[in-house]
Amino acid sequence: MEGKREILMIDPNPNSKLPDDERWAREVLNKLAFAAITEQRRTRRWGIFFKLLFFAYLVLVLVLVWPNDLDTTVTSKRHTALVRVEGLIASSTEASAKNIIESLHKAFEDKQTAGVIIQINSPGGSPTQAGEIYDEIQRLRQKHPKIPIHAVTSDLCASGGYYIAAAAQNIYANKASIVGSIGVRMDSFGFTDAMAKLGIERRAYTAGNNKDFLDPFKPVNPEEVQHLQGMLNAIHQQFITAVKQGRGDRLKDNPDLFSGLMWTGAQSVELGLVDALGSTRYVAEEVIGEKTMVDYTKRTRWVDQLLEGTETRLGATLLGLFGLEGTTQWR
C-alpha cells in the first residue's frame, strides 16, 4: 500500500526459532568448528616455533664447528708464507706456542712456499711459550734449509717478541718500530703497612717452610728475594744466550743491549738488533722474490677461546689455592 513502509527485521539469533534439539545440535557443531580452527592455528604456531628453534640450533652448531682459520687465499702458485705473532705471547692467546708452531708447520710443508715471513707485533709474554717458538724455528730452518724465514717487526717487537725474532735468518723493521726490552721481570705488591693501619690480621696456614714464598701480606724476606733474583737472572741469561746465538756477530758491543732498554727500528739497525728497514711486502717482493702472500696464521675459534678461558680461570684458581700466583714475563 502507498504510504506504508515495510521494515525488514533480522533475527540476531537465527537458531531461536528452531526446535530445542536442533538448535542445541547447531550450537555444538559451531563450537566444535571454532575449536578445530583454534587448534589448527595453535598447531601451526607451534610448528613455526619449533622450525625456527631447529634452524637456530643448526646455525649455532655451524658457528661452533666452523674454523676461524679457514684459508681462502690458498694458491697453487709459488708464494711467500705469512705467520703473524700478535699480542701477548701466552698459552691462552692466539700467539701461543701451539698456534704459532702449527702455523709454521703448514707454511714450511707447503711445496709452493718460497719463503716464510713471521710478522711480529707483540709486547712479549711467557718465556716458556716464546722459547718453544724460538726452538721450533731453529729446527725448521735446519729441516728446510732451502726455505728462508725472516722476521718483520710491526709497531712493537719487545721482550718475548724479540726472542722469537732472533731465531729468524734476518730481522726487518720500520724506522719507528719499538724493538728490544731484553730482560725479565716479575711483578708483586706489599700490603703490610695498609693492613697495620686498617687493623687487619693476616692468618695463613702452610705445610712447608717456603710455601708462603713472597706472600704480599707479610714483610719482605731478604732470603726469598735473593732466591727470586737468582731465578730471574737465570732466565735472563737464557734470553741473552738465545739472542746471541740467533744474531751472532751482527750484535754491536753495547752494554745496554741486554739491560731491558728499547730502541726505534732505525736505532736497532745501528745496534745490530735489526738487519735493515723494510716492511712485510718489501721482504716478500725484494728479499724472498714472491709478492704473492698466503697467510697461514691459525685463528682460534671463539668457542675454543671461551673454553680455554674457563680452563685458564680454573687453573688460576688452583694455582692460587696452592700458592703459585706469581707469573714471570719477558719484559
Homologous superfamily (CATH) of 79-184+243-310 is 2-enoyl-CoA Hydratase; Chain A, domain 1 (3.90.226.10)
Nearest one of 229, 85, 93 to 160, comparing CA atoms: 85
Tell me what pLDDT residue 44 has: 78
CA distance 130 to 321: 27
pLDDT digits (tens, 9 = 90+) for 245-258: 999 999 999 989 99
Note if 159 is an active site residue.
yes
Residue of 300, 295, 296 lying closest to 93 (CA atoms): 300
Q: How far is CA 253 from CA 116, 246, 256, in A?
A: 30, 15, 9
For residue range 209-237, what is the model confidence (pLDDT) as tens digits? 888 888 888 888 888 889 989 999 999 99
Q: How far apart are CA 79 and CA 289, in angstroms?
A: 9
Main-chain dihedrals φ then ψ at residue 216, nearest 5 degrees:
-70, -10
Report pLDDT for 13: 56
Q: Residues in the chain with pLDDT < 50?
A: 1, 7-11, 69-73, 303, 305, 308-309, 312, 316, 318-331
Catalytic-labelled residue, pool 154, 159, 177, 268: 159
Residue 20: predicted pLDDT: 62
Q: Which helix (H) or strand (E) holds 198?
A: helix 192-198
Q: Which one of the listed residues 31, 51, 211, 291 is annotated catalytic? A: 211
pLDDT of the residue at 64: 59
268 carries an active-site annotation: no
Nearest-angstrom CA–CA distance, 179 and 265: 6
Contact partners, residue 46, CB within 8 Å, separation at least 6: none
For residue 218, the model assigns a pLDDT of 82
- Predicted TM-score of the model (pTM): 0.70
